[in-house]
Amino acid sequence: MASELTAQLFAWLSNDLERLRSPFVKPSVAALSLIDQADEYLAKLATAVRRAIHPYRRDNPLALSDLVALLKDQPDLQIVREAQLNDLLLRLRQQGRLAGVVCHRDTIFIEEEHYSWKASLFSSDKELIARKAIEFIDTGSIILLDAGSTTTEIARQIGRGIKLRFWGQLTVVTNSISVANELLEAADEVGMEDDNAILRMYVAGGRIRPNTHAVIDEGDISGLSKIMESLPGKADIAFVGTNGICADVGFTTHDLTETRTKSTMLSLAARKVIVTDPSKFGIRQQNVFATFDDGVEIITTKENRATVERYRELLRDTTTKIITV
């Protein structure tokens, strides 16, 4: 009975909230409070679903019945039947809270992590990784910085370093709108002029993917390559993100165009660094952009110690090195 009442209340809230959000309805203060509380609840539900299905991709989808079992362990969610879950998933998808998630028949999996919610997951891990990453940067460095939530955190830490005068001169080449915005905000805070020598930034041209905020080049010649041809020598270091690390193939991602971009970035840099939280270990996506014999360094955290140590052992005879923070 409690479960049924919860389901009915949830349905009523959703329907009433849509009415209150209508431009023709002027909500009261009490109604606005109700909207805020319900939005918080929906956000909580979406986060719970995303966390539960995070390890599951197209080649290893999660059965909806198993997702019910995972969510049942969280009593405040009150999801105990598959019918309730189907209703919840429909409502969350209608509100754009599960972008990149696919429901196929009686299974569910992540097609691609969406930037809007990816940035909120493992945020403390990403900050630790970013603080370690900027230790590899010296004055005068030319840096290639990939799109992604972890690399955006690296940009944030670079911006912090610029404000604290860690370096006298940096050149950053990126394919990320988010990375560019982080660096521009830092430059604005210290009052940089166009002809400053502290930070030179280049953004590769192309189409912007809303899912990842990446600029992807669909032409025959890479925009990144063109930019690097105008700069002296190779990039000193490339920081590249990944959607998965699979023991039998290497580093993988979902989108084919981003696969080419990541491969190009690594090929243009003297030092190749892949930055990732530990949740990506064991995940395999459709496209491989680097192997364990490409001289890559991985910066990750100790959060999932057993998995990371297992991969460290698996990679002992390769040119890939794992750095944990």
Contacts of residue 6, defined as CB under 8 A and 6 or more positions apart, other chains included, come to: 78, 84
Rounded to a whole number, what is the distance in angstroms from the first to the last CA of the chain? 48
Output the pLDDT for position 312: 94
Q: Which fold has domain 123-324?
A: Rossmann fold (3.40.50)
- DSSP conformation letters of 250-311: EEEES-HHHHHHHHHHHHTEEEEEEE--GGGBT---SEEEE-TTS-EEEEE-STTHHHHHHH
pLDDT score, position 6: 52
Give the number of other CB atoms < 10 A from CB of residue 22. 9
> Tell me, what DSSP letter sits at residue 75?
G
Q: DSSP E strands: which ranges in 48-87? A: 62-63
Domain positions in the chain are 2-111, 123-324
pLDDT confidence of residue 117: 61
- Per-residue pLDDT in tens (0 to 9) along the chain, 325 residues: 455 545 555 555 555 555 555 555 555 666 667 667 777 777 778 888 887 887 788 878 889 888 888 887 776 666 778 888 888 888 888 877 887 788 888 899 888 776 666 656 678 899 999 999 999 999 999 999 999 899 999 999 999 999 999 999 999 999 999 999 999 999 999 888 887 879 999 998 777 766 666 776 766 557 888 899 999 888 999 999 999 999 999 999 988 888 999 999 999 999 999 999 988 999 888 899 999 999 999 999 988 889 999 999 999 999 999 999 9
* Residues 181, 41: Cα–Cα separation, whole Å: 30
Structure tokens at 34: 């109700």
E-strand ranges in 27-93 read 62-63
Q: Could you count the other beta carbons within 10 Å of the beta carbon of residue 148?
A: 30
Computed over its alpha carbons, how large is the radius of gyration of the chain? 22
Cβ atoms < 10 Å from Cβ of 307: 16
Q: Which of 187, 183, 192, 176 is nearest to 156 (CA)?
A: 183
Q: Which amino acid is at 285?
A: Q
* CATH 1.10.10 matches 2-111: yes
